[in-house]
Amino acid sequence: MKQLKCSGCGSRVFAPEGEGSFACEYCKAVTILPTQRVHDFEKLTAEIERLSLAVKKGDGFGEKYAKAKKLILNGDYMTANEVINDILDADPKQARAWFYMSLLPIYKFSEQMQSIDLAIKHSPEGGEIRKFYEDEKKILERKGRRIKREKFLANIIIIVGIGVLAVGGTFALLWFLL
């Protein structure tokens, strides 16, 4: 269990490890927990800034990117999403904005994959930043395969459990009738 602050009322609450979200026991507000990729966000953005190809000088988005970064690091994903969408409304070819969007845990896995694909599409061919986005896509794909595998195993366990209950119920019914 992790102790966190509720995004709704500010109360200190305990969230189960590994869960994607939790509801506050006081105000019932749902807080989305960051994924490992969001935990690595500061490192990732530092690398993007180091490569210096992500944002053209004087494009006017520097303040918005700084705001989005701060919001993501503070766990305010909905407001960060609004800021990122403002950037994309002004210039839909902003690879960095698409990459930021791929990190937001408010999106389904398929939507995160679409965002990272657009980050790759709108980054310079053969550049270091494009390779960086491609490497991040591979990490996201591995996560997706792991999630699919876990869901498959959970379904197998459920099916086997239902089968055991059905067989056990049949034997109990026969025992009762005889």
What share of the chain in percent tops pLDDT 70? 66
> Bridge-partner residues for 15, per DSSP?
2
Classify burial at 40, counting beta carbons within 10 Å of its beta carbon; exposed 0-12, middle 13-18, buried 19 or more: middle
What share of the chain in percent tops pLDDT 90? 12
| Structure-block tokens of residue 115 | 């965002």
pLDDT for residue 158 is more than 50? yes
Residues of the chain with CATH 1.25.40.10: 35-141
CA 147, CA 38: separation in Å to the nearest integer?
17
pLDDT for residue 55 is more than 50? no
Q: Say whether pTM exceeds 0.75.
A: no
pLDDT for residue 52 is more than 90? no
Query: Mean pLDDT across the chain, nearest whole number?
Result: 75
CATH of domain 35-141: 1.25.40.10
How confident is the model over 84-135, as pLDDT tens digits?
999 999 999 998 899 888 888 777 778 888 998 999 999 888 777 788 888 8
